[in-house]
Amino acid sequence: MVYLHTQKMPIVFVPGLFGSMSDQIVPGTGDWNFGLAKTAYEPMMQLLESMDYRMGKELFVAFYDWRQPIAYTAEYLMQTIAWAKQETGFDMVHLICHSMGGLVGRAYVQSDAYQNDVAQMIILATPNAGSPVSYCYWAGGKLPQSVAPTKNVVELYMTVYLAYLERGLPRNRIEAIHRNFPSLLDLVPARAYGDYLLERRDGIEMFVPYDSLLVKNRVLDELNEQMHIIPARGIPVTLVAGIGQNTVQYLKTVPPLSPVKWVDGRVVGAIHSDMGDGNVMMDSVFALQGEKYVVEANHLDILTKSEAIIKYKLQ
């Protein structure tokens, strides 16, 4: 069969955490869609469509099961890229990734399964070195109010989903998370983030060395150790980070009371910085090699506030 090229090389868009929903994730939610995150992602799709990228013609969305480990979710992306190539006749795609979607993209292009089919990666607000807030959820099952007195939209999504998970294992949220939401471990700070737990013990505060932690992000550590694969494969990377939002940079802890919960320290507070988008620190986004841009934006509106950068990179 011979395929005719469409006018534009196709875009494959990879949404972030909670940006994919289906019966596979929550029964009763139907076929793949943006779910509650549609308020963030539908404007992004409209932006790309205004640039003459038609959904299903030159624009494709790589929905995936964000509960699963990053390496596993890359399989979903491979399938969407194959679909885009088949529909358009192009043998390469532009990859635009938001948040966790950037890690999914990296897991694919840095893997042995890579098919030499990504022309460039545009990565928005991706925690390439992880995020301290994820430690709170993985180790403690919640985000303490002392860390974030006012939760943002992403944190509200997390609260709702964790409550849903806990229905299967009442009074044991930590086990429910570890069993049914293993990808959260792939989002905790990695070695590239640096020490982030500031423990108070006997009246003295000291950072806990990453190498002494029980909760380590081995997936990101490996991806970052091998990030040279991306330029070696000739894939240009554009990184966009948001700043100007109150963002957790470090976590204040005290020794844990339980061998199961808060294993590396019970979180009792945080140190914040405005050099982030409310969820991800700028330095975490920029832990990956690439061309770097900064915009005044939060974790979700960075999508549309990056319009000029995206247009420039797609021209």
How would you write the pLDDT of the chain (315 residues) with one tens digit per residue? 344 445 799 999 999 999 999 999 999 999 999 998 999 999 999 999 999 999 999 999 999 999 999 999 999 999 999 999 999 999 999 999 999 999 999 999 999 999 999 999 999 999 999 999 999 999 999 999 999 877 788 888 888 888 888 776 666 888 889 999 999 999 999 999 999 999 998 889 999 999 999 999 999 999 999 999 999 999 999 999 999 999 999 999 999 987 779 999 999 999 999 999 999 999 999 999 999 999 999 999 999 999 999 999 999
Residue 67 near residue 183, CB atoms below 8 Å: yes
Helical H segments across 110-185, by residue range: 132-135, 153-166, 173-180
Residue 287 near residue 191, CB atoms below 8 Å: no
| This prediction's pTM | 0.94
- 155 DSSP β-pair partners: none
Q: How far is CA 290 from CA 132, 199, 306, in A?
A: 23, 34, 16
Instruction: Count Cβ atoms within 10 A of the Cβ of residue 216 and give its class: 0-12 exposed, 13-18 middle, 19 or more buried.
Output: middle
Domain covering 11-314, topology: Rossmann fold (3.40.50)
Q: Sheet harboring 59-61: ordered strands across?
A: 59-61, 11-14, 93-98, 118-124, 237-243, 291-296
